[in-house]
Structure 1
Amino acid sequence: MSKIEYGFTPKYMTKNGKPWFPMMGEFHYSRYPKEYWKESLYKMKAGGIETVSAYAFWIHHEEVEGEYDFSGVRDLRAFTELVKETGLTMFLRIGPWCHGEVRNGGLPDWLLKKSFEIRSNNEEYFAEVKRYYKKLAEEVEGLLYKDNGPIIGIQIENEYGHCGGLQGEAGEEHMRCLTGLAKEAGFLVPYYTATGWGGAVTGGLLPVMGGYCEAPWDQRLTEIEPSGNYVFTEERNDHNIGSDYGFGAGITFDIHKFPFLTAELGGGLQVTRHRRPVAHPKDIGAMSMVKLGCGVNLLGYYMYHGGTNPKGKRTTLQESRETGYPNDLPVYSYDFAAPIREYGQMSETLKEIKLLAMFLRDFGSSFCEMEPFIPESNPLYQNNLKDLRTSVRRKDNSGYLFVNNYQRRYTMAEHLSEVLKVELDSEVITFPARDIKNGDFFFLPFYMPVGDGMLKSAMATPLCVLHNGEKDTYVFYTDTAPDYQWVKKPDKAEILTITREEALNAWKVEGDREYLLITCGNVIETDTGHAILSRSTHQVKAYPRLSAPPAGYRYTGEEKGFSVYEKLSDRPSGRVEYTLIREAAGIKVYEFTIQYPSDIEDCFLRIDFGGDSAKLYVKGEWEDDWFYTGQTWEIGLKRYGFPEKLQVEIQALKEKAECYLEIWPEFKDGIACDIYQASVEAEYKDCLNARI
């Protein structure tokens, strides 16, 4: 098998010389149990991720000076081997300073006690980094691109010159020195990246950008201004990232020399003690789509997979004000409201991102070459909630019209019977009138090749292509009449139209042929085929018909071109009871007793409570915690061996607490400290035929 060649142009990344639009997601191996890494990588792959990014936190690997730890959750080599085994590639982010809401930004305490200044151009500091880089490189020897391994990219430092570090030429020199040390250690890869927002210096490396739907690190305790990440703009910089360190300047590199890539597009938000905004699925879906309309050619998410901080040898390992950082984080939980949550739950956010990932997997190569065109009449600022926001990406006359009428936590004006138009060099494409409601966001094709045909326009969005035999099936989704307008109808392709809800629940699966499955469950690869993970799925629809029903399902007929399979029987979720066993000033402790059904994949304890925070104890050990947000706290019990009993401690929240919350709890005598309700939901795993 020949080696894949990777590169980039000023516009996009390349794979074997062709335009390449990757989907990348951050997963911190040291924040997740080793025994579940593989299934989580398969889950990421099911969500459309093809490249995994991961920090190697120095403090996780050398908390005690000279005592390296690459065991258990810290086993970087084993994780990288699984990345390769599951067919993914990897960007390793080697710091030395990473941030990631880790203690000291990932630097060990002992390093901070040295006589030299950290993150400076001090030779003693560089000597320590050189030693650490060398050890990391030894751990992944044979797994780098140069040896046909999965690691194709290395990120150097993080937010250097923006959140600490040197600026100007001294900062550029620092980044060049670190890059040299990385290469000297053996990190030889096609891509070397550096974060480029907020005035960070890049040392000539490939700059990657970011953007979040809110800012839990913002030190204000009030509703903040609308996010600029819902406006189509040529501006690559998100001024809010790292604003807890002070607002940075613009960007330090020439945007005409590098493609617009993201590595830190927020897949959710990690709340802090003082600020707890909740990221909802459409917050992330709309922001992601807008970035495509702005010209992004890599969607990289931080985080894509949540996790739990490991236990330290000498201290806890979370960011805290006690260590001189701006924010207090949970000691253990790093859920992030990510597409895949702290306990491996595949969330609705994953499905929003998957809509774009499926499109980009099949159409991304041509999409990369399409330039963004943002109308001069477009709103410039996010506080304009009245005017419609649009953008066009096209190459010659072929492209997509992007429309966004979504602004997180704000109501946008409705545009009834709106006639959308795209002005080309020689004509104007006019779409049929449609209502655009508050919260709508979508994109539509024009002059799109469909097999051997040409689609002039449609009121439907392309999702994917099923390649089967002589005729390919192009799948589109819409909640309006699709109104396909053809220059030439295809002879060797057909159209399948589904709703947006069906598209959210759609999974493209390759077996003996390519299938589209629609199910509320989650379809993932396994070592032997595919499986459906679900809590309450009763129906699976397939196009074309499966060679055999999924395990535990039966074929019941046809529906709008899909074969329908129904679950043979209902399955129980289990039972839970809880009792208040101890109460003290500002604290209540509850004991939970849980009964599990048989043959389950996992079981999730769901707790709704009012309070400042909660702690989980299993067999007397403090295992996890959670800051109150108004959302349900969900705990995966497989990780703890399905315990029959566990304890939860609720810590009180005062009515006038200095904290920003979007949903406040119920207060009694100025205090909230209660569990409102609890339940358990079992997750089951149903195997699909290995060949489907």
Structure 2
Amino acid sequence: MGKFEIKDDFYINEDKIKIISGALHYFRVVPEYWRDRLEKLKTLGCNTVETYIPWNIHEPKKGEFDFTGSKDVVKFVKLAEELGFLVILRPSPYICAEWEFGGLPAWLLKDDTMRVRSNHEGYLKAVDDYYAELFKHIAPLQITNGGPVIMMQVENEYGSFGNSKTYLKTIKDLMIKHGTTVPLFTSDGAWEEALEAGTIMNEGVFPTANFGSRSIEQMGNLKEFIKKGPLMCMEFWIGWFDNWGGEHKRRDPEDATKEFDDLLKLGHANVYMYHGGTNFGFMNGCSLHGEIDPQTTSYDYDALLTEWGDITSKYEGFKSVISKYREIPEVQFSTTIKKVNLGEVKLTRKVSLFNTLDTLSKPVYSENTLNMEKLDQNYGYILYRSNLGKKRDLEKFKIVSADDRVQLFVNQNHITTQYQTTLGENIPISLDKENDNIVDILVENVGRINYGAKLVSTSQRKGIKDGVMVDIHYHSGWNHYSLELNNIENIDFSLGYKENTPAFYEYTFNISEDNMGDTFLNLEGFGKGSAFINNFNLGRFWEIGPVNYLYIPAPLLKKGENKIIIFETEGKYADIIKLQDTPSYSK
């Protein structure tokens, strides 16, 4: 058993310690590479690793828990312990982290009265239930129980969202109820208003700050606020994340290194991100810059390691700074990782979504349109279908209150796409068949907002909410097809293909054991969608950039035949795809 204490400084078993930590999210890295990333953290000179714990991956459905594979946080922490690290865990219900809904499970939104990050009875009951299971796994890992975990976080940047002290105290009390015995901390922006709103020092919870520049000034602000005790930057932002259509973010390594040097002279630090990794699946978050601004699949973050784990010049600069405080250990990297160019792969089969729809989803009928959450769907797409009857021209057709991106088809012909500022506009349509004119509306959840006031907006509920108007009346009678695409093995490629419609494209290739390695799927020629390797969801792509690839770690490949399936919604595809040994960018 051990003891971690916060007094005038940090102490472990009465010995003073300087915490130099790196942020590494286990859920953004394939488990086969956890050791490699941790070994590289060790050769950087860090003595601590920090990770968030996202609620939405561990309880994907209410009452159904998953701590296996890439979600095995216990295995990750024990591996860190094996390599000599201390661990900081952040099991907040909300994590931000540019992660879908800030880590909150979407099923919370089925309750129309739900208000997350508040004293809402249903929300707190859900947190309590989640913690009852989560802490069975993480409580034994605390230093007080012989493990490496020295601190845990209460909430996350709450001072940038609310100021309810009763709520913060409730979360703290729930953590203690379920087994927390190590010191607790909060992390907020390093200015007075955020610190005042987001901290509960009178409850014995230690305040830390998050920032990425002006280290001397920011640590001064923190010191002025807490008056006494150690100073820690819990998130020292050394880069930034990318949004679709924006520039690929880069930060000058010399500037980041200087600020890090200034920071360590004044206190303790956690480098965010030491290694960013990948938002596999549909787990990217969404910013709000006037309109929704979804984040990319790549979470490279211009971190010390690249998305695929290569050491950068910024890494070397930070290592030089850390060497002033700690002896840098020599570590032999034990995981063999190489990048391979697998060349061109030809298209083998294709099928339109409309033709294989019934093999992927069973329709749910309702007089009125239902949002995803009402259908117990969390992510992906939802297709609404209705029969508008006889032949005629309609001057006004309106999809009312939908999120996030809407594509309208009449008799499987694309009419328009609405997104951001065009959502809700009237659309003239022509029903050109004598009878049984079918309208299909494909709605994509591009990622729920993960930060700020809109976290509690009705726009977090995805799909069509208010309904669809024909002329000046709401149209009733809809079939709903949920498409989380977690069952793509059910695609029937024999059912036919139609140009310029959403479709699935299959590419198969064989590799030998000797040619196994990390590779990059170049998506030149495709519009928008998601891609899968051997049924694993690699994430989203979008031709607007700035990234034009999806990273495929070697452990997702297998000896012999491999299968890539690309779901593309804009009618754009390539007969040949390329698997390269370098990533590609469009901006």
- Alpha-carbon separation, structure 2, partners of 1:533 and 1:142: 33
The within-5 A match list for 1:526-565 is 526=334
- The residue aligned with 2:344 is 577
Work out which of the residue numbers 40, 44, 56 in structure 1 matches 2:53: 56
**Structure number having the greater strand percentage:** 1
- The residue aligned with 1:604 is 519
- The residue aligned with 2:261 is 292
Shift of 1:156: 1.0
On the 8 A contact 1:576/1:680 being kept in 2, the answer is no
Where relative contact order (Cα < 8 A, 6+ residues apart) is larger, the structure is 2
- Alpha-carbon separation, structure 1, partners of 2:504 and 2:540: 13
Work out which of the residue numbers 173, 185, 204 in structure 2 matches 1:180: 173
- Alpha-carbon separation, structure 1, partners of 2:139 and 2:231: 31
The within-5 A match list for 1:149-228 is 149-162=147-160, 164-165=161-162, 167=163, 171-197=164-190, 199=194, 200-204=197-201, 205-212=205-212
The answer as to 2:244 corresponding to 1:273 is yes
Question: Do the aligned partners of residues 173 and 587 (structure 1) sit closer, same or farther apart at CA in structure 2, a change above 3 Å counting?
Answer: closer
Question: Do the aligned partners of residues 91 and 620 (structure 1) sit closer, same or farther apart at CA in structure 2, a change above 3 Å counting?
Answer: closer
Amino acid at match of 1:234: E
The answer as to 2:38 corresponding to 1:69 is no
- Alpha-carbon separation, structure 2, partners of 1:144 and 1:632: 39
Amino acid at match of 1:509: E
Q: Deviations over 1:450-494 (max 9, x none)?
A: xxxxxxxxxxxxxx6xxxxxxxxxxxxxxxxxxxxxxxxxxxxxx
Shift of 1:186: 0.6
Question: Do the aligned partners of residues 66 and 614 (structure 1) sit closer, same or farther apart at CA in structure 2, a change above 3 Å counting?
Answer: closer
- Alpha-carbon separation, structure 1, partners of 2:346 and 2:520: 15
Q: Deviations over 1:337-360 (max 9, x none)?
A: 433344444444433332223333
- The residue aligned with 2:557 is 640
Question: Do the aligned partners of residues 256 and 291 (structure 1) sit closer, same or farther apart at CA in structure 2, a change above 3 Å counting?
Answer: farther
On the 8 A contact 1:611/1:650 being kept in 2, the answer is no
Identity %: 24
Any gaps of 5 or more consecutive residues in structure 2?
351-497, 583-587
Work out which of the residue numbers 125, 130, 133 in structure 2 matches 1:132: 130
On the 8 A contact 1:267/1:303 being kept in 2, the answer is yes
- The residue aligned with 2:293 is 327
- Alpha-carbon separation, structure 1, partners of 2:140 and 2:134: 12
**TM-score (ref. length: structure 2):** 0.60
**Structure number having the greater helix percentage:** 2
On the 8 A contact 2:276/2:303 being kept in 1, the answer is yes
- Alpha-carbon separation, structure 2, partners of 1:335 and 1:268: 9
Work out which of the residue numbers 330, 338, 354 in structure 2 matches 1:509: 330
- Alpha-carbon separation, structure 1, partners of 2:501 and 2:143: 54
Q: Deviations over 1:487-507 (max 9, x none)?
A: xxxxxxxxxxxxxxxxxxxxx
- The residue aligned with 2:25 is 28
Shift of 1:17: 3.9
- Alpha-carbon separation, structure 2, partners of 1:342 and 1:643: 26
- Alpha-carbon separation, structure 2, partners of 1:674 and 1:602: 24
The within-5 A match list for 1:431-450 is none
On the 8 A contact 1:22/1:298 being kept in 2, the answer is yes
Question: Do the aligned partners of residues 148 and 608 (structure 1) sit closer, same or farther apart at CA in structure 2, a change above 3 Å counting?
Answer: same
Shift of 1:203: 0.9
On the 8 A contact 1:651/1:673 being kept in 2, the answer is no
Question: Do the aligned partners of residues 263 and 614 (structure 1) sit closer, same or farther apart at CA in structure 2, a change above 3 Å counting?
Answer: farther
- Alpha-carbon separation, structure 2, partners of 1:630 and 1:137: 38
**TM-score (ref. length: structure 1):** 0.52
Q: Secondary structure at the match of 1:161?
A: helix
Shift of 1:650: 11
The answer as to 2:303 corresponding to 1:305 is no
Q: Deviations over 1:562-608 (max 9, x none)?
A: xxxxxxxxxxx655235688996699999888786865673333749
- Alpha-carbon separation, structure 2, partners of 1:128 and 1:533: 41
Question: Do the aligned partners of residues 268 and 173 (structure 1) sit closer, same or farther apart at CA in structure 2, a change above 3 Å counting?
Answer: same
On the 8 A contact 2:142/2:149 being kept in 1, the answer is yes
Q: Deviations over 1:150-186 (max 9, x none)?
A: 1111011111131x23x2xxx2332223212211211
On the 8 A contact 1:196/1:252 being kept in 2, the answer is no
- Alpha-carbon separation, structure 1, partners of 2:241 and 2:560: 27
- The residue aligned with 1:352 is 317
- Alpha-carbon separation, structure 2, partners of 1:626 and 1:177: 40
Q: Deviations over 1:67-116 (max 9, x none)?
A: 22222222222222222222222111111111122222222223234435
The count of corresponding residues between Structure 1 and Structure 2 is: 422
- The residue aligned with 2:376 is none
Q: Secondary structure at the match of 2:152?
A: strand
- Alpha-carbon separation, structure 2, partners of 1:192 and 1:598: 47
The within-5 A match list for 1:114-133 is 114=111, 115=113, 117-133=115-131
Question: Do the aligned partners of residues 592 and 77 (structure 1) sit closer, same or farther apart at CA in structure 2, a change above 3 Å counting?
Answer: same
On the 8 A contact 1:604/1:637 being kept in 2, the answer is yes
- Alpha-carbon separation, structure 2, partners of 1:586 and 1:251: 55
